[in-house]
Amino acid sequence: MSDPWQECMEHCVEVAKQAGKVIREALEGDIAVMHKSSQVDLVTETDQRVEKLIISSIRSKFPSHSFIGEESVAAGESSVLTDDPTWIIDPIDGTTNFVHRFPFVAVSIGFTVKKEIIFGVVYSCIEDKMYTARKGKGAFCNGVPIKVSGQEDLERCLVLTEVAFKNEPQHFDTLMANLRRIVSIPVHGIRSPGSAAVNMCMVASGSADAYYHMGIHCWDMAGGAVLVTEAGGVVLDVSGGPFDLMSRRLIAAGSRAVAERLAGYVAKFPVGRDDDDADGS
Ligand code: IPD
């Protein structure tokens, strides 16, 4: 039987390459920075331009499909996931890195059908690494199969998370307390590369063993989550329960043992959901 989504995935890789080229070119000029929800929530004209480029290219080929894009949502569009074939897009995952020319900057695109992730494409465009994964068909970097470390001992793990200012003091305290608690296990180390999608690619390719985060969005996670599972890893909720793409929380790891143990160390704070404006249907 022919694969109905193969053409979508091939187009996705092409459009991610084009987007990456635009981002690399933008790095050669001045970058004007604007702010969204706070003084540390940055956006640039390139984020907006690249999202438009991606959506218009995909829409011209697949006009009946739906979209959830970071910058479209910031401009007021809905982020409710439906059963439709849906493209979930982060045009620049790692905008702060982009602004500072810190070299982990990715175009991240996940594609869902009936709310299930069918494929993910993450193009780390400064490194020129194209990560691709199709459900049931493995995970790849520049066409070469990748796999997770498989590490099962949390004490031997390199753990990724992101450290950012939080307006809510209790959330900020919990975030910092989690760092202290996890680094004191002790794990081998904690790193904070600045792009959720790249973090997941690092877990998928075995250069990190685990990643946890509360407060990210579906567009940060949709491309990378399937890369981790197709590379042999697991994605869970920070509670240790099943991963929920709209929950704004995740643990990704090279083994279930590490993911579940890490979940036990992570104190939770409320982050809301991406589909909070859902009508309950
Ligand atoms: C951000 C990155 C970063 C994470 C932030 C995200 P953006 O995405 O993934 O690693 O700490 O929470 O918002 O805004 O650069 O697309």
Cβ(218)–Cβ(166) below 8 Å: no
Name the pLDDT band for 119 (thresholds 50, 70, 90).
very high
pLDDT at 281: 32
pLDDT at 37: 86
From the number of C-beta atoms within 10 Å of its C-beta (0-12, 13-18, 19+), residue 28 rates as: exposed
Q: How far is the CA of 69 from the centre of ligand 1 (A)?
A: 13
pLDDT at 110: 98
**Whether pLDDT at 278 is above 70:** no
Average pLDDT of the chain, as a whole number: 96
Question: Residue 70: CB within 6 Å of ligand 1?
Answer: yes
Ligand 1 pocket test target in 42, 90, 96 with most atoms within 8 Å of CB:
96
Q: What is the pLDDT of residues 14-33, one digit of tens each?
A: 999 999 999 999 999 999 99
Q: How far is the CA of 161 from the centre of ligand 1 (A)?
A: 11
Question: Residue 95: CB within 6 Å of ligand 1?
Answer: yes
What is the identity of the amino acid at 239? S
Question: Can you tell me which atom of ligand 1 is nearest the CA of 94?
Answer: 15
Name the pLDDT band for 239 (thresholds 50, 70, 90).
very high
**Whether pLDDT at 279 is above 80:** no
Question: Residue 223: CB within 6 Å of ligand 1?
Answer: no
Least confident of 16-20, 163-167, 232-236, 265-269: 163-167
Q: How far is the CA of 220 from the centre of ligand 1 (A)?
A: 7
**Whether pLDDT at 209 is above 80:** yes
pLDDT at 277: 60
Question: Residue 216: CB within 6 Å of ligand 1?
Answer: yes
Name the pLDDT band for 276 (thresholds 50, 70, 90).
confident
Question: Residue 51: CB within 6 Å of ligand 1?
Answer: no
Phi and psi angles of residue 225, each rounded to the nearest 5 degrees, phi first: -60, -45
**pTM for this one?**
0.96
Name the pLDDT band for 90 (thresholds 50, 70, 90).
very high
Question: Residue 93: CB within 6 Å of ligand 1?
Answer: yes
Question: Residue 90: CB within 6 Å of ligand 1?
Answer: yes
- Give the residue among 109, 127, 206 at the shortest CA–CA distance from 160: 206
Ligand 1 pocket test target in 46, 47, 160, 216 with most atoms within 8 Å of CB:
216
Q: How far is the CA of 1 from the centre of ligand 1 (A)?
A: 39
